[in-house]
Amino acid sequence: MNNARFLIFPWVTSRNLASRILARVLQELPLAWQERHGYRPVLLETFIDRDRFRGTCYWAANWILVGQAQGCGKLDRKHERSLPVKDILLYPLHKRFRQKLLDSPQ
């Protein structure tokens, strides 16, 4: 699953709000996804544009940095790399997420 947008406006002040939201999502999302789509996600993905955002809440929540995007969007058919390079972070929702992703669907 991809977390495409997660932004709390700078004028919103609530102690640990981002961490609380992320924790709640990580807790409730797998079951809600199971009920809606018939299977549980095992891995979450997000991107951080480090030129614009620090991503503090992700680091605090133990998301794992796995690399950087190339700067190509999904519609960049000519590989012009016109978008900012972003950090790629993952969060496993299952201890054996690698095996689960490799297993063939039943």
Q: Is residue 66 domain-resident?
A: yes
Do the domain assignments include residue 6?
no
- The pLDDT tens digits of the residues spanning 63-82 come to 999 998 876 666 656 666 56
Q: Do residues 89 and 63 make contact, with C-beta atoms less than 8 angstroms apart?
A: yes
Which tokens go with 47?
A: 């991107």
Tally the domains of the chain: 1
Q: What residues contact residue 48 under an 8 Å CB cut-off, 6+ apart? A: 54, 55, 58, 86, 87, 89
Give a yes or no: residue 5 inside a domain: no
pTM value is 0.77
The answer to whether residue 29 sits within a structural domain is no
**Position 90 pLDDT exceeds 60:** yes
Residue 92 belongs to some domain of the structure: yes
Query: For residue 27, is it within any domain?
Result: no
Residue 54 lies in domain? 42-102
